[in-house]
Chain A
Amino acid sequence: EPEVTQTPSHQVTQMGQEVILRCVPISNHLYFYWYRQILGQKVEFLVSFYNNEISEKSEIFDDQFSVERPDGSNFTLKIRSTKLEDSAMYFCASSVSTGTSGNTIYFGEGSWLTVV
């Protein structure tokens, strides 16, 4: 079964450093997402990406964050100047179409980021 893959599975970084989280969405999917889940809290939407541009972003997704699709397969989330409160599990996800039709969103296994 096709799956969304994410790397790294776990990263520890010092406060103020830049982090890049990588994702390979399912190959025929057109919509890509990043979500965040702080330990013990709910899943939070960060950003959606379609046709090589951001289609939607939440209040969390400020200038500290950026996304990129550098080639035909990878989808990256960059966090500049990390803060302690950025420590969370970051999930990449993809779907064939948007959520308007209740289309299934498939999640990667997540990248656990610890900022120290």
Chain B
Amino acid sequence: RKEVEQDPGPFNVPEGATVAFNCTYSNSASQSFFWYRQDCRKEPKLLMSVYSSGNEDGRFTAQLNRASQYISLLIRDSKLSDSATYLCVVNHKDSNYQLIWGAGTKLIIKP
């Protein structure tokens, strides 16, 4: 089983819609959780950390469900510029806190 699993997509979504995707992780001792965004052939960029109580940053909301071992990302009022691959990233003591990456979910926002 992969440590971090994501639906590869692509998710094709009309501009202005709300889209959500999940990520599951296998190590119950995972400690920190992040969503990164990666444009084609570019470097990953931190979108937001995910906190236990859930957190929001503008149109983006992240949730953590430790019991079911998944995190989610919700994007409201999607923009064309949101088109990218969204990477779920975790770390834990077993990895000496090095980042463990999901393969990403591709999102395409259509006009």
Contacts and interface: CB of A to CB of B under 8 A. Distances in A.
Interface of A: 41-45, 48, 56, 58, 89, 91, 98-100, 102, 104-105, 107-110, 112
A107 to B, nearest CB: 4
Task: Enumerate the 6 nearest inter-chain pairs by beta-carbon distance, A residue then B residue, closest first.
Answer: A107-B43, A102-B32, A42-B103, A99-B97, A43-B101, A100-B97
B43 to A, nearest CB: 4
Interface of B: 31-32, 34, 41-46, 49, 87, 91, 96-104
Chain B CB within 10 Å — which of A45, A48, A89 has the most?
Answer: A45
A42 B98 contact: no
A48 B98 contact: yes
Given A42-B103, A42-B104, A110 B98 contact: no
Contacts of B34: 102
Given A42-B101, A104-B46, 15 more contacts: A43-B44, A43-B99, A44-B101, A45-B98, A45-B100, A45-B101, A56-B96, A56-B98, A89-B41, A98-B97, A99-B32, A99-B98, A105-B99, A109-B43, A110-B43
A65 to B, nearest CB: 16
Main secondary structure of the interface of B (DSSP, over half): loop
26 contacts: A41-B103, A42-B87, A42-B102, A43-B87, A43-B99, A45-B98, A45-B100, A45-B101, A48-B98, A56-B96, A58-B98, A89-B41, A91-B43, A91-B44, A99-B97, A99-B98, A100-B31, A102-B32, A102-B34, A102-B49, A105-B46, A107-B43, A107-B44, A107-B45, A109-B42, A110-B43
Given A42-B103, A99-B91, A108 B43 contact: yes
A74 B96 CA distance: 25
Contacts of A110: 41-43
A113 to B, nearest CB: 13
A99 B99 contact: yes
Contacts of A104: 46
A75 to B, nearest CB: 15
A112 B49 CA distance: 28
